[in-house]
Amino acid sequence: MFKKIQAREGEIGYGLINTKTGNAIPDKLVDRLIHRQLIQMGQVSSMRLTFIKLKQMVQEKLDAIADLNEIAPGFLLADFEQLKVMNQSYGDKLEERDEELSRLRAKCASTIQILAHLREKSSALQNDVADLMEERNETEWEFFNVRSTLNLTKQHRDYCRHGINQMRDDSGLLTQPTLLRDMEQGLVDAKVLAGELQHVMAEYKKRARQIKRIRTRIEEAKEMRRLGRRSSLRVRNPFLQVRNERSDRICRGRPSLMMPTIEETAFDSLRSIKPKITYDRRRHPLNPKLCKRADG
C-alpha cells in the first residue's frame, strides 16, 4: 500500500517545474525525497512497535499492581486499611462506652442509696406530719377555749371601763392633779395681779393729780406773765397797746400762732417723783413684797 503511494508520488513528481526558478525538478531529487520518506516511514513503524510493546508492559505492571492490591474478590488493600482504621476507632468508642457504663453504674448505685435515704426520710416526715396534725387539733381546741375566755374578759373590761369613766366624771378635777395645780397657781397669780392692779391704779391716780396740779400751775404762770406784760406795755406807751396785743398772737410772722413760754421752776415738783419699774411676769419673777401685799 505504501509502495503504491510512493509510486504514485514518483509519477506525479517526475517532470514538475519549480515555480521560483522555472526549471524542471531533477529526477534524482525526487528519488532522494522518496527514499527519505521510506526511511522515515520505517522509523515511525519501529517507534510504533516499541510504543505498543511498552504499553503492553505498562498494562501488565498495572495488572500486577491491581492483583497485589486485591486481597480477595471485591476487596482491595485500601479497603483493608480503611477497615482497620474503622476497627481502631470502634475499639476506642467501645472503651469510651465502657467507661461511661461504669460511671452510669456508679451513678445508679448512688441514686439507689439516695432513694433509700429519701424513703426513710419521707416515712419520718409522715410521722412528723401526723404529730403536727395532732398538735394542731389540740391548739385549735385551746384557741376556741381562749377565745371564749377573751370574750368574757372583754365584757368585764368594758364594764370596768364604764365604771371608771363614770367615777371619773363624778370626781371632777380630783383625778387631774395637773389641772388642780394649774388652777391653784392661777388663783395665786390672780391675787397677785389684783394687788398689782390696785397699786398701779393708786399710782395712776396720784400721777394724774400731780399732772393736773402742774397744768394748773402752768396756766396760772402763763396768765400771770401775760397780765404782767400787758400792764408794762400800758405804762410805757399806751399807743402800742393794740400792737402788742397783736404781737402776742403772732409768732414768726404767722397769725393765729402763739409760742407758749413756761417758767423754769414749773417742773421742780416732778423731780422729786421716783419712776416705777414694772416687770414682765413671763420674763422676770414677781416682786415678793407685792406678793405679800396681795396676800395681806
Digit-coded pLDDT (tens) for 123-172 = 999 999 999 999 999 999 999 999 989 999 999 999 998 888 888 777 76
Q: Which residues pair with 76 in a beta bridge?
A: 70
C-alpha distances in Å from residue 166, one per residue of 92, 160, 170, 171, 180: 101, 10, 6, 9, 20
How far is residue 291's CA from residue 19's CA, in Å, rounded to a whole number?
177
| Nearest alpha-carbon partner for 268 in 200, 214, 231, 204 | 214
pLDDT at 291 exceeding the cut of 50: no
Instruction: Give the 3-state secondary structure of residue 14.
Output: coil
Looking at residue 233, its pLDDT comes to 54
- pTM for the complete prediction? 0.26
How far is residue 182's CA from residue 189's CA, in Å, rounded to a whole number?
10
Digit-coded pLDDT (tens) for 163-219 = 888 887 777 666 777 877 888 888 888 888 988 999 889 888 888 888 988 988 888
Looking at residue 245, its pLDDT comes to 43
